[in-house]
Amino acid sequence: MELNKTAVSLSMLSKVYTVGDVTIEVLNDLNLKVQKGQFAVITGASGSGKTTLLNIVAAIDKPTDGSVVVFDENLNGKDEDFLADFRCSNIGFVFQSYNLVSTLTVAENVAFPMEWARKPQAQIAKQVAELLRLVGLERRGDHFPFQLSGGEQQRVAFARALANDPQLLLVDEPTGNLDTKTSQVIVDILRKLQDDGKTAIIMTHDEQVLDLAKQRLRLESGKLVEQNG
């Protein structure tokens, strides 16, 4: 019963950028529904608007037109404080370029979303240890991001995204910058999250990641096209 509920609903979504005299229509009357507990994997050419779409779902960016409903919450027109809280509690975002905070250690990078959620210190410490174990970096907690490899930084980014146990994961090219072996580690993490019943929207070109998807889509000319696995 729970699985049939809609986690993300985008309808008639448009995003237009204007650069000088040139207008670029990135998303055009796009519709998408992702059910709770499902992994939607989206592919598309570079510059097709995949990251823009993720940014809009995460309320980091605003659509030019159309509505964004995430877990029954219409995000259009909400103020910045509400959106910040909403992101912190409900959404885990894994950026393509990891975006770890260079001045914080691995453990602190994982901990800070929980600190914003005002969780008790003891719970934060326990959760950080569990998440680092999940991504296989339990011995790297005191290291700084620049002391990690790309794959390790990506795993820290996953741990950070899972910090507040969000219902929705937004993952941008999780294996795009990684070698096959490291990619496999990331796929394993994603598989575990899928088994745990998480909802995710993943942008990727990686076949291994595509295999995880119940819903495969392709972003073309600003619209999503269903693809059968």
Partner 1 sequence: MDEIVETFFSVNDLLRRKFQTSLVIVSLTLSVASTLFLLTFADKLGFGVLAIAEGKLTASFSIIFSHFISFLSFLVFLVGAIIISFLVFLMTSQRIRDIGLIRAAGCPNNLVFGYFMNELFIVNFAGCALGVILGVIADIASTNLLSSLGFQIPQGSTSIWLVLFVFATFFVVGLVLGAKPILDVTKITPIKALSPTYYLGLGKVVRFKAASKSGLTLKLALRSLSRRKSATFRIVLCLTTVFILITVAVAGGIIANQTTNSWIEKAVGKDVILIAHRETCDQYKLLLSKFHESIPDAPFNYTDERYVISEYLVGNLTSISGVRKVDRRLVLSAHVKEIRGYKIDPETSATIPIGDNRETGSLVIGVNPENMVNEWFLDGRLLRDDESFESIVGDSLARKIFTMPLNQSITLSNRSFDVVGVCLDPINNGNVTYVPLKTLQNAIGATESNIVLAKIDPLANYTETLNQIRTKVITADASFEVFELNKIVNENLGFIGYLWSTIMFLPMFSLTATCSCLTGYVSLVLAEQQHEFGVLRALGAKPRALIAIVAVQSLIVLVSSYAAGVSLGIITTLLILVPEPIITSYTVIEIASWLLVALAATFIVCLYPAVKLSRKPILEIMA
Per CB under 8 A, residues contacting partner 1 are 55, 58, 60-62, 80-81, 84-85, 87-89, 93, 95, 99, 101-104, 108, 111-113, 115-117, 121, 144, 146, 160, 164
Rounded to a whole number of angstroms, the minimum distance from the CB of residue 145 to partner 1 is 8
Pairing mode of beta strands 199-203, 39-44: parallel
Using the minimum distance from each CB to partner 1, give the nearer residue, 148 or 213: 148
Dist CA 85 CA 209 (whole Å): 29
Using the minimum distance from each CB to partner 1, give the nearer residue, 105 or 215: 105
Using the minimum distance from each CB to partner 1, give the nearer residue, 170 or 212: 170
Using the minimum distance from each CB to partner 1, give the nearer residue, 71 or 93: 93
Rounded to a whole number of angstroms, the minimum distance from the CB of residue 181 to partner 1 is 23
Give bridge partners of residue 218 from the DSSP assignment.
Answer: 43, 225
Using the minimum distance from each CB to partner 1, give the nearer residue, 111 or 193: 111
Rounded to a whole number of angstroms, the minimum distance from the CB of residue 103 to partner 1 is 4
Rounded to a whole number of angstroms, the minimum distance from the CB of residue 107 to partner 1 is 10
Rounded to a whole number of angstroms, the minimum distance from the CB of residue 102 to partner 1 is 6
